[in-house]
């Protein structure tokens, strides 16, 4: 079996790369050890968003009486909810399999080993030795298990178990206040579970813009969800009352009782898996990641790496883009390069969070003079009409050039709204460009326009004290 390209891994990085390779006329094969669509489609992005939507819907039904809609006390059929979620996953994974087939891409089920730059051995259902001119490694990542909290699927859950519950626990302790822990923790909170969060750092969402993190902390407090910062989960034991977890906070150990522990402290690249054999094949690493260049080529000619195994950020959309770059490079496009102006990050918490571009601190470090404007959703007619006034939009520009540097949001549907900010940064837009773009009314994206106006103290629907120094040289007002 001889191919132009063998892609190892059929997640959002791998299958996108394989399809593009086929579109470019390359004979392509995909090796997948578990399931088409990878973690994202099966036990990650898609099923989590389905359950997040279910949780939010359940919450909205319970709170609908504020709008004069009486629904009584809603009930939850957990089995039916999970079946619905699995139906969505099935449609999407089936769609990926169909796309691979329609593009005449051969698929092999099994564990792949890179023997050398031109040979991949498949062990498992479709045991084969594949000869190839190029290899693309897209093997993804795995949840990290911390000492004393090995995943057992019963007492200690990873995100995988949290996405397929047989019942809703009464009490849950979430280890890790990052985006996965908060997304899933809030699903269960909305479904009626008592949640407690333990975070080792000094704030939740430690990787996000500081004010977004602070706002989420306030939101959790409003929801009466206990959050312990600077805290380290040490161990747990089973008792007749549930699981008792020892947590070290400020040098002292406190005990908390729960029915299940959700451990979400991060993920680790699968690239150093011994079975995969990259190190033995001579591939160089940068920590846990394959060391790659702008075309996603590794140190060994003919071997490429994309997605979670090729470095931060470990995001599906970043991996998909890398897949397109690698495919173009393999097909001979010398101009193909991974060089995005920005990569948006979205978190489907309640409220949602989205961020793209630089924070004010990063902008200063890069020599800019950051100036920012903020618009609250409490002043948005659309946000009020959907009963979701929590949060705001923040726009960061450069005081000297008015160049748009960053956009950070927390509130309703901001995971959708952030695309405008990403496109604007990619196109090199100014803050004034955003302010002068007519946005439909009444819509949530108006918050982006108003925040851009607020940069120059010219927002209409909030009061700002005049500040001539903040106005652009040729303000279009």
Whether 105 is covered by a domain: the verdict is yes
Average pLDDT of the segment spanning 313-329: 98
pLDDT for the residue 108 = 96
* pLDDT above 90 for 400: yes
* pLDDT above 80 for 415: yes
> Do 314 and 426 fall into the same domain?
no
pLDDT for the residue 71 = 87
pLDDT for the residue 163 = 96
> Do 138 and 166 fall into the same domain?
no
* pLDDT above 70 for 469: no
> Do 138 and 272 fall into the same domain?
yes
pLDDT for the residue 72 = 87
Among 330, 355, 380, the domain boundary falls at: 330
> Do 21 and 112 fall into the same domain?
yes
> Do 236 and 371 fall into the same domain?
no
Whether 340 is covered by a domain: the verdict is no
Confidence of residue 465 (pLDDT cuts 50, 70, 90): confident
| Distances 332 to 7, 30, 101, 337 between C-alpha atoms, Å | 17, 20, 24, 12
CA separation for the pair 456, 226 (Å, rounded): 38
Average pLDDT of the segment spanning 446-460: 97
Catalytic residues: 441
* pLDDT above 90 for 467: no
The H or E element that residue 212 is part of is helix 210-222
Among 279, 301, 330, the domain boundary falls at: 330
Domain carrying residue 395: 345-470
> Do 321 and 349 fall into the same domain?
no
Model pLDDT for residues 236-281, shown as the tens digit of each residue: 999 999 999 999 999 999 999 999 999 999 999 999 998 999 999 9
> Do 316 and 361 fall into the same domain?
no
Model pLDDT for residues 76-102, shown as the tens digit of each residue: 999 999 999 999 999 999 999 999 999
> Do 275 and 132 fall into the same domain?
yes
Tokens 């939010």 map to which residue? Answer: 56
């Amino acid at each position: 079996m001889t191919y132009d390209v063998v892609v190892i891994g059929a997640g959002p990085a791998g299958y996108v790369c394989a399809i593009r390779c086929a579109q470019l006329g390359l004979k392509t094969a995909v090796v997948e050890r578990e399931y088409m669509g990878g973690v994202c489609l099966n036990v990650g992005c898609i099923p989590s968003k389905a359950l997040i939507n279910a949780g939010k819907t359940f919450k909205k039904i319970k709170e609908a009486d504020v709008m004069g809609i009486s629904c009584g006390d809603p009930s939850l059929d957990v089995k039916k909810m999970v079946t619905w979620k699995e139906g969505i996953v099935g449609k999407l994974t089936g769609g990926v399999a169909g796309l691979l087939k329609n593009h005449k891409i051969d698929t092999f089920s099994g564990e792949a080993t890179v023997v050398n730059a031109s040979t991949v051995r498949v062990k498992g259902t479709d045991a084969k030795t594949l000869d190839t001119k190029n290899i693309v490694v897209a093997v993804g990542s795995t949840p990290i298990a911390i000492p004393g909290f090995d995943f057992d699927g019963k007492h200690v859950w990873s995100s995988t178990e949290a996405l397929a519950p047989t019942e809703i626990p009464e009490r849950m302790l979430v280890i890790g206040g990052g985006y996965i822990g908060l997304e899933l923790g809030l699903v269960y909170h909305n479904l009626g579970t008592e949640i407690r969060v333990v975070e080792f750092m000094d704030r939740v969402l430690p990787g996000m813009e500081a004010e977004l993190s602070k706002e989420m902390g306030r939101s959790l407090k409003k929801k009466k969800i206990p959050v312990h910062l600077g805290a380290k989960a040490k161990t747990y034991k089973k008792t007749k009352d549930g699981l008792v977890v020892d947590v070290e906070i400020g040098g002292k150990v406190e005990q908390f009782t729960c029915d299940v522990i959700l451990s979400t402290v991060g993920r680790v690249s699968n690239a150093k898996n011994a079975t995969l054999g990259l190190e033995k094949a001579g591939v160089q690493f940068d920590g846990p990641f394959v060391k790659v260049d702008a075309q996603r080529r590794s140190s060994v000619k003919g071997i490429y790496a994309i997605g979670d195994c090729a470095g931060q950020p470990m995001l599906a959309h970043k991996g998909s883009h890398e897949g397109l770059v690698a495919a173009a490079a393999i097909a001979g496009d010398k101009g193909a390069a991974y060089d995005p102006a920005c990569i948006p990050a979205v978190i489907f918490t309640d409220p949602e969070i989205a961020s793209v571009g630089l924070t004010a601190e990063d902008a200063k470090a890069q020599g800019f003079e950051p100036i920012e404007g903020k618009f609250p959703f409490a002043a948005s007619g659309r946000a009020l009409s959907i009963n979701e006034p929590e949060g705001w939009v923040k726009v960061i520009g450069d005081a000297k050039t008015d160049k748009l540097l960053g956009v950070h949001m927390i509130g309703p549907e901001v995971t959708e709204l952030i695309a405008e900010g990403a496109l604007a940064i990619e196109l090199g837009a100014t803050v004034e460009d955003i302010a002068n773009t007519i946005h439909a009314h009444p819509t949530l994206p108006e918050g982006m326009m108003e925040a851009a106006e607020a940069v120059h103290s010219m927002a209409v629907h909030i009061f700002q004290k005049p500040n001539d120094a903040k106005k652009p040289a040729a303000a279009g007002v």
